[in-house]
A and B are shown apart, each in its own frame.
Chain A
């Protein structure tokens, strides 16, 4: 397989599914709240 069409198509499908399930919102909410214990400040 020289160009991974199947993988690219599968990735597109998963990305769309994720967007419909509002996962990007989850990622955003997690990213904007700084976890102090994660960065070493406890």
Chain B
């Protein structure tokens, strides 16, 4: 089931719905934005590059000249190529998933932050939801990041990942003339893939995270059992303001621990949405009443 709706950006005002939510997404200096920028800096600040034996929880290209950590999906593909079971990596996924679920996508992923920024551009927006396309991340995980690399001995997800071009390809090509000499047709194919995802992100909320990201698919499996969870109380009047502020376009009252929820906590500023950490309530500043 899918539906489309075009609406102007100005509809993201305060007047929608009877509840006035706090405005976690509007300011560039919102708590989440600052954490996301911090994550981008920590992931790519070069000075911690001795930690490259350890994967980062988020999608961050380790081909970036300044990357400090390994890309978890890149590492997963590597283990598929060398035909070994990645116990360390599975343990890492389980640990991060058990603690945070998809909160990593909402707070720490540079790819997600970049799409959030693009969506803030003042253009008409397209609301697009699809339960079938939501499963594409799992298909990508099993096929493109695991099975096909195992069979072909090539890192196929890396070849289509736009972060590879943004953080690795472009900086390396700009900084090294010898690398520039090596540029071939595939570079332009990759530019086309990147332009496709980035332009989509201007009009649709986080298209890559929602429909393509294999890492998000991994963490989504833990959303229902992770330490951080959401709860919607019975008084919810389903005004859909939660969907308006949600970067993943979710109606949180339908399923508070939906596989798609990235725990950005934008909806938690509503009086009926509660954040639970280990079963205990945690307050969110600016909550409406």
Contact = CB atoms under 8 A, between A and B. Distances in A.
B184 interface: yes
Given A3-B278, A27-B75, A41-B184, A17 B91 contact: yes
A37 B63 CA distance: 11
B19 interface: no
Interface in B237-287: 276, 278-279
B156 to A, nearest CB: 9
Contacts, number: 146
A40 B187 contact: yes
Interface residues of A, number: 35
B63 A38 contact: yes
Interface in A1-42: 1-4, 7-8, 10-19, 21, 23-28, 30-32, 34-42
Interface of chain A: mostly helix, strand, loop or mixed: helix
Among the interface residues B62, B74, B97, B154, which one has the most CB atoms of the partner chain A within 10 A? Answer: B62
A32 B172 contact: no
Contact of A40 (B79, B169, B279): B169
B213 interface: no
A11 B92 contact: yes
Contacts of A18: 86-91
A30 B74 contact: yes
B226 interface: yes
B111 interface: no
B98 interface: yes
Interface of A: 1-4, 7-8, 10-19, 21, 23-28, 30-32, 34-42
